[in-house]
Amino acid sequence: MTAPSPKPRRQLPLTWLGLMPFVIFMTLFLILPTMHIVIGAFQDRSGGFTLQNIRDLNTGTIPSSYWISVKISVASASIGCLIGFGMAAAVTFGAVPRWIKAPLLTFSGVASNFAGVPLAFAFLATFGPVGFLTLFLRNNFGIMLQAGIWNLPEGSLLADLFGPQIRFPGFSILSFWGLTVTYLFFQIPLMILIVTPALEGLRREWREAAEVLGATTAQYWRMVALPILFPALLGTFALLFANAFGAVATAISLTGSSLNIVPIQLFAQIRGDVLGNPNLGYAMAFGMIVVTAIANVLYIWLRVRAERWLK
């Protein structure tokens, strides 16, 4: 009588081993911190369950900080979409020399991930009160980027129209528009990277068919191209909104406590000051997670619809 053959052992396919570093990294630096934030949002100082932290999100300056963050995200996402779409369309359809496309996409890949303290320092060194561009315009042309007076050259057309001086309200890098302009440094490249494949997916036959039927270039874009690209554009806007809404290091490094946005108030709550409430900070972070999650889900859904059209 022959002995029964041993059962074959179940082995994990070797192809999965390559994903283990990614899984470990995701677990340690994304999943576990997110769970810690979500759990902490529903705990009091003693560790008991409570909904008070969620209720407190509607008190004090927290609602206004969310509103300012939403406005900055919408502004930077809108401007980033417009400028990025124009640049991507220019290099895709040959409005500029073809050799510019590869360097532009390479730069976009780097700039879309350039944020935090280096980006804040770069913009302060350029547009700050003693920044390079601020001093250059003031010393050479008498133009004050900060609040003050523009001294116009004598005999110039502007001086004849407005007088020798113009009062200028000023541009501060530590303001709403200052932070919005800073965010554009990574918003525009991200838009270029995402929308370029969608533009390349527009088939030449569609444009030729529209021209055969007598459509102008404006009619082709309005009635054919833009309706096809609309899900991709709207999805990219949602992604850029989430990208700006969740930016923390750049906002804190650039504006400090001078601008009332969610990341700065969150930092003030969890850094351990006497008046700080870490669990309220967790609730604010939970609110940011919900907002960015909705934006990302919208982006994924719209991108699937756009890819279906382009196929």
CB burial of residue 231 (10 Å; 0-12, 13-18, 19+):
buried
What is the tens place of the pLDDT at every residue in 263-288? Answer: 888 877 776 555 567 888 889 889 98
> From CA 232, how far away is CA 239, in angstroms rounded?
10
Per-residue pLDDT at 94? 75
Q: Is 146 left (phi over 0), alpha (psi -120 to 50) or beta?
A: beta
The residue-averaged pLDDT of 112-140 equals: 81
Per-residue pLDDT at 303? 78
Name which residue leads in pLDDT, 48 or 159: 48
Per-residue pLDDT at 237? 93
Give the percent of the chain with pLDDT over 70.
82
pLDDT at 311 > cutoff 70: no
Give the percent of the chain with pLDDT over 90.
17
CB burial of residue 196 (10 Å; 0-12, 13-18, 19+):
buried
pTM above 0.75, yes or no: yes
- Three-state SS for 100? helix
Q: Which domains does the chain have, with CATH numbers?
A: 39-126+173-310 (1.10.3720.10), 129-172 (no CATH)
How many helices (H) and strands (E) the chain has is answered by 15, 2
pLDDT at 169 > cutoff 70: no
Side chain identity, residue 175: S
Taking CA 86 as the corner, what is the angle to CA 84 and CA 92, rounded to the nearest 5 degrees? 100
Per-residue pLDDT at 73? 93
The residue-averaged pLDDT of 73-78 equals: 94
The pair of structure tokens assigned to 164 is 């020798």
pLDDT at 60 > cutoff 70: yes
Per-residue pLDDT at 11? 59
Which residue matches tokens 């995402």? 194
> From CA 273, how far away is CA 293, in angstroms rounded?
29
The residue-averaged pLDDT of 4-28 equals: 74
The residue-averaged pLDDT of 112-141 equals: 80
Residue 300: band (very low, low, confident or very high) from pLDDT cuts 50, 70, 90: confident
Q: Please state the φ and ψ torsions of residue 172, each to the nearest 5 degrees.
A: -115, 130
Per-residue pLDDT at 295? 87
E strand or H helix at 134:
helix 132-141
What is the tens place of the pLDDT at every residue in 80-107? Answer: 999 999 999 988 887 777 788 888 888 9
pLDDT at 241 > cutoff 90: yes
- Three-state SS for 168? strand
Question: In Å, what is the CA distance from 4 to each residue of 1, 7, 11?
Answer: 9, 9, 21
Total residues found in the chain within this entry: 311
The pair of structure tokens assigned to 82 is 């417009």
Per-residue pLDDT at 217? 84
Side chain identity, residue 235: G
Per-residue pLDDT at 156? 57
Who's near 170: CB < 8 A, 6+ residues apart? Answer: 144, 145, 146, 147, 148
What pairs with residue 49 in β-bridges? 43
Per-residue pLDDT at 97? 79
